[in-house]
Amino acid sequence: MTPIQILLLAGLGSGAALTAARWKRGDLRTASACGWGALWASGMVLVAVPEWANTAARAVGVGRGADLVTYVLLVFLLGAVFRLMVVVDRQRREFTALVRELALKDVPPREASPPTHAEESRPHA
Q: Is 50:65 a contact under the CB 8 Å cutoff?
A: yes
Tell me whether residue 3 or residue 108 sits nearer to another protein (CB atom): 108
45, 71, 85, 91: which one contacts another protein (CB under 8 A)? 85
4, 60, 75, 104: which one contacts another protein (CB under 8 A)? 104
Taking CB under 8 A as the rule, does residue 99 contact another protein? yes
Taking CB under 8 A as the rule, does residue 103 contact another protein? yes
Quote the CA–CA distance of 36 and 15 in Å, as a whole number.
9
24, 58, 64, 100: which one contacts another protein (CB under 8 A)? 100
Candidates 85, 52, 50, 57; CA nearest to 71 is: 57
Tell me whether residue 6 or residue 85 sits nearer to another protein (CB atom): 85
Taking CB under 8 A as the rule, does residue 81 contact another protein? no
Q: If DSSP codes are grouped into helix, strand and coil, which group holds residue 26?
A: coil
DSSP string, 60-114: HT---HHHHHHHHHHHHHHHHHHHHHHHHHHHHHHHHHHHHHHHHTT-PPPP-PP
Taking CB under 8 A as the rule, does residue 117 contact another protein? no
- Binding stretches for another protein (CB under 8 A): 85-86, 89, 92-93, 95-96, 99-100, 102-104, 107, 109-110, 112, 115, 119, 121-125
